[in-house]
């Protein structure tokens, strides 16, 4: 549906909230690189620094450092500024401007249903920032200000993307502009769209988990990775011969999914190789595979982070290219709404 009237364009975002996990890598960034390399569409990847202050301000230096670290991670994982637009959100004001419009389109009832808000706000919802509540509207603006049609994300962002489609449809309908905003499609693909905690197979692997043993960070060294995988919770049974055998074994399923995603294969293939083997055999193989993938990434990240000026240059250049797409779309949006624009604003028509 999105492609009928809109050119294929890929957009996604990651928050610079300090340290990417293996979950972010397998669920999102690895897919970003794959979509860039396919070369079938323009790819736009954003460090969403304005989202990163919705749950509290980490401090000026910490936010700047997290932004540089994430930029380095994007590049070290294989994103290429010559083939993708890479920038941070706050450098392109059109995101925040369109988000305001969407604050007037989205309904309170819709936002009240967002499970991520409920999780992040916790028990004391009255104390949550308005920004945290309106977070999905800014996310919709991120996507729609580029008329993006495809959004690679992990499973946990599905509800936000459904909301983005609802916002697009309601805007198009209420403002009499059929097909103006595309109904962007989530791209939730691969064996690891929901990587779980290494300590509890029913909880998502997350940067904010209190226990560092629950996650693998992109910057963990080989010994730490091996230790975390060795200590990962499992059950005493050997690996089954088919994926059905993983059904009530969340920890085993998680490790098999991680292996499959890292090896670019399927869980079924992994089980074909390891059926009947104990975790004491599987875990060292998984650790080796993880280290082999992450060691070059963290090495490259260290080199890139040594030159923050170069990272700033990449982000600045990306922001100029992003703004050149976003500003005409925002101008058309203002025009549809009926805002008087007597000063010059790019129309790109
Ligand atoms: P963030 O920064 O929390 O996560 C970035 C991406 O990583 C994915 N992810 C995971 N995938 C698999 N397993 C996990 N354990 C795991 N943890 C995180 C997330 O699904 C996400 O794709 N709201 C977004 C950021 C955002 C955005 C956007 C995304 C802002 N605007 C527009 C797409 C389009 C977020 O919280 O990302």
Q: What is the mean pLDDT of residues 130-142?
A: 98
Indicate which residue's Cα is closest to atom 20 of ligand 1.
Answer: 154
Residue 1: pLDDT above 60?
no
Q: What is the pLDDT of residue 5?
A: 86
The residue annotated as part of the active site, out of 120, 158, 170, 283, is 120
Residue 9 phi/psi, 5° resolution? -145, 135
Mutate to test the pocket of ligand 1, among 9, 12, 14, 188 (most ligand atoms within 8 A of CB): 14
Give the tens place of pLDDT for each residue, 26-79. Answer: 999 999 999 999 999 999 999 999 999 999 999 999 999 999 999 999 999 999
Q: What is the mean pLDDT of residues 135-159?
A: 98
Indicate which residue's Cα is closest to atom 26 of ligand 1.
Answer: 13
Q: What is the mean pLDDT of residues 233-261?
A: 97
Residue 64, CA distances (Å) to 28, 49, 299 in order: 22, 9, 21
Give residue ranges with CB within 6 A of ligand 1.
11-15, 23-24, 27-28, 48, 51, 139, 142-143, 151, 153-154, 156-157, 160, 193-195, 204-205
Residue 146: DSSP 8-state: T
Surface-to-core class of residue 70, CB atoms within 10 Å of its CB (0-12 exposed, 13-18 middle, 19+ buried): buried
Q: What is the pLDDT of residue 349?
A: 45
Q: pTM of the predicted model, to two decimals?
A: 0.97
Active site residue 207: yes
- Mean pLDDT of all residues in the chain? 96
CA dihedral defined by 114, 98, 25, 317, rounded to 10 degrees? -170
Of 293, 248, 303, 345, the closest CA to residue 68 belongs to 303
Residue with tokens 């969407």: 102
User: Which spans in 278-342 are helix H?
Assistant: 279-305, 308-337
The domains located in the chain, with CATH, are: 2-193+307-347 (3.40.50.620), 212-304 (1.10.240.10)
In sign, the C-alpha dihedral spanning 161, 167, 168, 169 is positive
Q: Would you place residue 131 in the very low, low, confident or very high pLDDT band (cuts 50, 70, 90)?
A: very high
Give the tens place of pLDDT for each residue, 300-326. Answer: 999 999 999 999 999 999 999 999 999
The residue annotated as part of the active site, out of 158, 170, 207, 283, is 207
**Phi/psi-derived region of residue 264, left when phi > 0, alpha when psi is between -120 and 50, beta in every other case:** left
Residue 18: pLDDT above 90?
no
Give dist(CA 59, CA 56) in Å, integer.
9
In sign, the C-alpha dihedral spanning 96, 348, 32, 27 is positive
Active site residue 204: yes
For residue 24, give the ligand 1 atom closest to its CA.
7
What strand order describes the sheet that includes 42-47? 84-88, 42-47, 9-14, 150-152, 185-187
């Amino acid at each position: 549906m999105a492609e009928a009237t809109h050119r294929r364009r890929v957009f996604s975002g990651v928050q610079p909230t300090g340290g990417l996990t293996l979950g972010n890598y397998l669920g999102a960034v690895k897919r970003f690189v794959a979509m860039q390399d396919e070369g079938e569409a323009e790819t736009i990847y954003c460090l969403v620094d304005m989202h990163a202050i919705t749950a509290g301000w980490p401090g000026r230096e910490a936010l700047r450092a997290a932004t540089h670290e994430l930029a380095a991670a994007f590049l070290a994982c294989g994103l290429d500024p010559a083939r993708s637009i890479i920038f941070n959100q706050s450098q392109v004001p059109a995101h925040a401007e369109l988000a305001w419009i969407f604050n007037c389109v989205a309904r309170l009832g819709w936002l009240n249903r967002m499970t991520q808000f409920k999780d992040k706000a916790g028990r004391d919802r009255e104390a949550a920032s308005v920004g945290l509540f309106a977070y999905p509207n800014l996310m919709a603006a991120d996507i729609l200000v580029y008329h993006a049609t495809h959004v690679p994300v992990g499973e946990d962002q599905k509800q936000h993307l459904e909301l983005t489609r609802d916002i697009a449809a309601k805007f198009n309908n209420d403002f009499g502009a059929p097909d103006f905003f595309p109904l962007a499609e989530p791209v939730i693909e691969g064996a690891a769209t929901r990587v779980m905690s290494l300590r509890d197979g029913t909880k998502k692997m997350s940067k904010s988990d209190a226990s560092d043993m629950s996650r693998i960070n992109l910057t963990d060294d080989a010994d730490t990775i091996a230790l975390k995988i060795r200590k990962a919770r499992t059950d005493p049974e050997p690996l089954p011969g088919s994926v059905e055998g993983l059904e009530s074994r969340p920890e085993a399923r998680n490790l098999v999914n991680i292996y499959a995603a890292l090896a670019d294969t399927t869980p079924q293939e992994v089980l074909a190789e390891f059926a009947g083997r104990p975790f004491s055999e599987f875990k060292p193989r998984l650790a080796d595979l993880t280290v082999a993938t992450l060691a070059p990434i963290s090495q490259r990240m260290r080199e890139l982070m040594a030159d923050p000026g170069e990272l700033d240059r990449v982000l600045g250049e990306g922001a100029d290219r992003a703004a050149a797409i976003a500003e005409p779309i925002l101008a058309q949006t203002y025009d549809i709404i009926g805002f008087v624009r007597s000063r010059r604003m790019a129309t790109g028509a």
